Amino acid sequence: MFLLQDPEWADVKLAQAKYLLSRLAQFKTLVSNRLECTPLVIVAGDFNSTPGDKVYKYLISSSCSLAQVVECLEDKPIPLCSAYASMKGEPTFTSCTPGFTDTLDYIFFSPTDNIRPVSVLELPEPDSPDVVGGLPNSCHPSDHLPIGVGFEITGE
């Protein structure tokens, strides 16, 4: 997933996020109906949104507790939680260039009793030699760091 980068177009990014959630909800319903199951939802990507901005706030539920999922569904078609935020907080940064360093990349999941994050890929600190001076570099071939989450998935 990739949302528009330009900060001047925040309303477009929010519309893209709303469209993403509506399509995820449609896909989840389609899979549920065809396969008679309740699929788990995990979505990851460069959302070009920092923690706390409108897009990020729209995408995540106010809490990752199941008690608030029903309340969340009144506001949006599918609840999502950030896997990093639920484990140890969002990373300090996932993108690091000379002019910009912040978190833009996320792994979201829809909370149920059947899925929970159990580990996250540790990212370097801002003063780590492999990121000083910005990315990309010889250690990281992109201006974004890789992120990763291990999930525990249980049967119903």
Distances (CA, A) of 143 to 21, 65, 99: 26, 33, 11
Q: How many structural domains does the chain have?
A: 1
Domain annotation covers residue 145: no
Residue 3 has pLDDT above 80, yes or no: no
pTM over 0.75: yes
Domain annotation covers residue 139: no
Distances (CA, A) of 132 to 127, 136, 137, 145: 6, 10, 9, 13
Question: How far apart (Å, rounded) are the C-alpha atoms in residues 78 and 65?
Answer: 14
Give me the long-range contacts of 28-32 (CB less than 8 A, separation at least 24).
28/78, 28/110
Whether the Cβ atoms of residue 79 and residue 111 lie closer than 8 Å to each other: yes
Domain annotation covers residue 30: yes
> pLDDT band for position 71 (50/70/90)?
low
> Average pLDDT of 1-21?
79
Q: Model confidence over 75-134: pLDDT tens digits?
A: 678 999 999 999 999 999 999 998 999 999 999 999 999 999 999 999 999 999 999 999
Whether the Cβ atoms of residue 147 and residue 140 lie closer than 8 Å to each other: no
Q: Model confidence over 12-22: pLDDT tens digits?
A: 888 889 999 99
Residue 140 has pLDDT above 60, yes or no: yes
Domain annotation covers residue 90: yes
> pLDDT band for position 9 (50/70/90)?
confident
Domain annotation covers residue 92: yes
Determine the pLDDT at residue 74. 55
Domain annotation covers residue 101: yes
Determine the pLDDT at residue 103. 97
Q: Is 96 exposed, middle or buried (0-12, 13-18, 19+ CB in 10 A)?
A: buried
Structure tokens at 7: 């900060």
Determine the pLDDT at residue 12. 86
> pLDDT band for position 64 (50/70/90)?
low
Whether the Cβ atoms of residue 152 and residue 113 lie closer than 8 Å to each other: no
> Average pLDDT of 28-54?
94
Domain annotation covers residue 137: no
Q: Domain range for residue 88? A: 7-122
Domain annotation covers residue 149: no
